[in-house]
Amino acid sequence: MIRFLDIQKVTASYDPELQEAVEAVVRSGRYLRGEQTAAFEAEFAAFCGARHCVAVGNGLDALTLILTAYKQIYAWDDGDEVIVPAFTFIATAEAVNRAGLRPVFCDISPVNFLLDTVLIEPLITSRTRAIMPVHLYGTPCAMEPLKDIAARYGLKLIEDAAQAHGAALSGKRTGNMADAAGFSFYPGKNLGALGDAGAVVTNDAELAARIRMLANYGAAEKYYHEMLGLNSRMDELQAAVLRVKLQRLDVDNGHRRTIAGRYCTLIRSKHITLPKEEAFRNSVWHIFPVLVQNRTAVQEFLRTAGVETLVHYPLPLHHQQAYAADYADKSYPVAERVAACELSLPISQVMTEEEAERVAEALNRYEPPMHSDNKNTAL
């Protein structure tokens, strides 16, 4: 079976350094707010090309803390609005709610599945405070048009970089493309911990200082609480793991590019729509998304052929039960079509080219059932 992501193999591939790093932390007796976290913050900020990195508990907290801190600094009101894509992992929008703000969904582009820049301006109201694009599937969003809109309307621009560690555009890495960025190091991400972890990356010193306090019970100095905060810290163990894996991140992303390249060369099926080369050129391929008409049938066919696939994501945000009531009258046609047709092929830093070839061969053998429309009219 070719697994969607063989995470045991991923972890083993960093040994013996990973085991040694973990053992050193266990022996050190220091498990929070120690030298591993401080070193990771310095190294990840430098990697992104940004001035500050604040390590936190997970990706959702990173995004929530950015919004909460800006809300305090600029005195935004409860219910003020943040524009987010209608198609992303729910954390992007949920962070907005958790900060006491309101997510306003915007449809995505059918070409690169990212926030469709031309649809943003009509959504801006007197209460809009920020735009939060997502570098979905590992593809960095083009920031110039977004920066232009943000500047004209006085909005903050916040990257959800949870799927795009190390991706770059015009010489700038994610994390250094906007006012602030939230990263997740969930185990399956391109840079993944052995549990939950996240980070805020920014060049804004005031924002970083406030987030550092908020994430530690509102205290800069132990037991002196300047404000009410929460507990969202990165474990020393996770910081040590991430430091080992960060050293190989560019190489790992390069390997993902190789696998994606094999797929693009070898998959030759009229039933499969491949990601557009032009649109995905700068991707670090967190996900390799294809579009198919008969998704359940294709998934079942591949399963029988020994290939595990997943779907990212089966529902757009406005169709999630958690949001359905508030967005009942809204429709985002591209988000809906991608949610209906997307299929994620196996990809990782440890998948072999030979495995990618077997996936492609299996897909090329797929024929839809006789009665169904055998043209791919996905988009």
Ligand X SMILES: *Cc1c(COP(=O)(O)O)cnc(C)c1O
Positions touching ligand X (CB under 6 A) are 58-60, 88-89, 91-92, 134, 160, 162-163, 184, 186, 196, 198
Q: Where are the beta strands (DSSP E) in 230-309?
A: 272-273, 288-292
The number of residues making up the chain comes to: 379
CA distance 54 to 47: 14
Phi first, then psi, for residue 183 (nearest 5°) are -115, 150
H or E, element range at 328: none
Q: Is 192 left (phi over 0), alpha (psi -120 to 50) or beta?
A: beta
Neighbours of 43 (CB within 10 A): 16
**Identity of the residue, 133 or 346, whose beta carbon is nearer to ligand X in the bound complex:** 133
Taking the complex as a whole, how short is the minimal distance between the CB of residue 188 and ligand X, in angstroms?
A: 8
H or E, element range at 318: none
CA distance 175 to 159: 7
**Identity of the residue, 68 or 163, whose beta carbon is nearer to ligand X in the bound complex:** 163
Taking the complex as a whole, how short is the minimal distance between the CB of residue 40 and ligand X, in angstroms?
A: 15
Phi first, then psi, for residue 205 (nearest 5°) are -65, -40
**Identity of the residue, 91 or 115, whose beta carbon is nearer to ligand X in the bound complex:** 91
Query: And the tokens for 87?
Result: 């198609």
CA distance 15 to 12: 5
**Identity of the residue, 58 or 293, whose beta carbon is nearer to ligand X in the bound complex:** 58
**Which residue in 156, 182, 159, 158 sits closest to 73, CA to CA?**
156
CA distance 367 to 363: 9
**Identity of the residue, 2 or 317, whose beta carbon is nearer to ligand X in the bound complex:** 317
Taking the complex as a whole, how short is the minimal distance between the CB of residue 72 and ligand X, in angstroms?
A: 21
**Identity of the residue, 84 or 274, whose beta carbon is nearer to ligand X in the bound complex:** 84
Q: Which amino acid is at 292?
A: V
Residue nearest to ligand X (CB): 59
Taking the complex as a whole, how short is the minimal distance between the CB of residue 125 and ligand X, in angstroms?
A: 24
Taking the complex as a whole, how short is the minimal distance between the CB of residue 368 and ligand X, in angstroms?
A: 31
Taking the complex as a whole, how short is the minimal distance between the CB of residue 63 and ligand X, in angstroms?
A: 6
Using a 10 angstrom Cβ sphere, with 0-12 exposed, 13-18 middle and 19 or more buried, the burial of residue 17 is: middle
CA distance 183 to 199: 5
Please, are residues 181 and 201 in contact by the beta-carbon 8 Å criterion? yes
CA distance 161 to 65: 14
**Identity of the residue, 80 or 196, whose beta carbon is nearer to ligand X in the bound complex:** 196
**Identity of the residue, 61 or 252, whose beta carbon is nearer to ligand X in the bound complex:** 61
Taking the complex as a whole, how short is the minimal distance between the CB of residue 367 and ligand X, in angstroms?
A: 33
Taking the complex as a whole, how short is the minimal distance between the CB of residue 107 and ligand X, in angstroms?
A: 16
| Chain centre to alpha carbon of residue 146 | 18
Taking the complex as a whole, how short is the minimal distance between the CB of residue 160 and ligand X, in angstroms?
A: 5
**Identity of the residue, 61 or 355, whose beta carbon is nearer to ligand X in the bound complex:** 61
